[in-house]
Chains A and B, each alone.
Chain A
Amino acid sequence: MSGQIALGLPVAAVLFAIGLAGVLVRRNVVVVLMSIEVMLNAGGLAFVTAGARWGLPDGQVAMLFVLAVAAAEVSVGLALVLRVRDAFDTLDTDEVSRMRG
């Protein structure tokens, strides 16, 4: 097994962990969304690495679906961010955690 395949999954795990830390630690909603993007990307990297390991295109197909999901998620998420900004006048996730009507 060649080097990049052996290293691909650890790199994906590290990127996912950094993205998770960003989601948990940062309080700006936009940065939280960006961290989710990093996590999706790390998952896709794991798919592509596994696909390269077996020499099959299925991993790349899975990454294409990850791309589609990420695009849909970002469009809805950013629209929600605009609404949160309008309604609460802040982007701080702690401020928005009350969820009263």
Chain B
Amino acid sequence: MIAAFYAAAAVAVLSTLLMVTRPSVVHALLYLIVSLLGTAVMFLALGAPFLAALEVIIYAGAVMVLFVFVVMMLNLGPSSSHADWLSPRAWAGPALLAAVLGIELLWILASAGPPSEGVRAIAPARVAESLFGTYLIAVELGSMLLAAGILGAYHLGRRETGRARR
């Protein structure tokens, strides 16, 4: 399990470095998704299975889909022809790193049992009890923040009718 944590940490740091250094936004996005998946495996090794699932669903799923949508709407640059970014050079790196993470995940799931000595897995039930007990007001504040975020995004994203659109 410690080896799994080391490997996931190495994958996350490497893919984050590659993300910052890629010139193309779409390639950087692919490496960012791999980085978030690596963080999810780290959560699993740290005894937080609930957050590992949420990291994949919300961060690597919903938030990254939002990024993909915006990159699509921005229609970036002349270099984004299909032949360019569908080349194996573009997707081989992220695919390889993601495959490493997938093998790790299978290995963790196969070696069922306590995560590791000294680390106790914290069950989702305990997280929920804490979330909706001690931190109930913070949950309400979070819902207000999300509502404000929706309104702000709607207001800012609305096109002005008078302005000519490219």
Which residues of A approach B to under 8 Å, CB–CB?
1-5, 7-8, 11, 14-15, 18-19, 21-22, 25-26, 28, 30-31, 33-35, 37-38, 41, 44-45, 48-49, 51-52, 55-61, 63-65, 67-76, 78-83, 85-86, 89, 91
A21 to B19, CA, bound (A): 11
B149 touches A4 (CB 8 A): no
Number of interface residues of B (CB under 8 A): 69
Interface assignment of B90: CB less than 8 Å from any CB of chain A = no
A45 / chain B contacts, CB cutoff of 8 Å: 39, 42-43
A1 / chain B contacts, CB cutoff of 8 Å: 118
A27 to B34, CA, bound (A): 22
Residue from B17, B67, B165 within 8 A of A18 (CB atoms): B17
Residue from B2, B16, B36, B126 within 8 A of A19 (CB atoms): B16
Closest B residue, CB atoms, query A22: B20
Closest A residue, CB atoms, query B156: A79
A33 to B74, CA, bound (A): 15
B135 / chain A contacts, CB cutoff of 8 Å: 61
Shortest B64–chain A CB gap in Å is 9
A/B interface sample: 24 pairs, CB < 8 A: A1-B118, A4-B42, A5-B46, A19-B20, A22-B19, A31-B28, A35-B20, A41-B36, A57-B131, A60-B48, A61-B130, A61-B131, A61-B135, A64-B51, A68-B145, A70-B59, A72-B146, A78-B66, A79-B152, A79-B154, A79-B157, A80-B156, A81-B74, A82-B156
Residue from B1, B16, B145, B159 within 8 A of A69 (CB atoms): B145
- Identify 9 new A-B residue pairs, CB closer than 8 A, beyond the known A30-B67, A37-B59, A57-B129: A48-B48, A52-B47, A55-B120, A57-B126, A74-B67, A76-B152, A76-B156, A82-B74, A82-B156
A82 / chain B contacts, CB cutoff of 8 Å: 70, 73-74, 156-157
A18 / chain B contacts, CB cutoff of 8 Å: 13, 16-17, 20
B101 / chain A contacts, CB cutoff of 8 Å: none
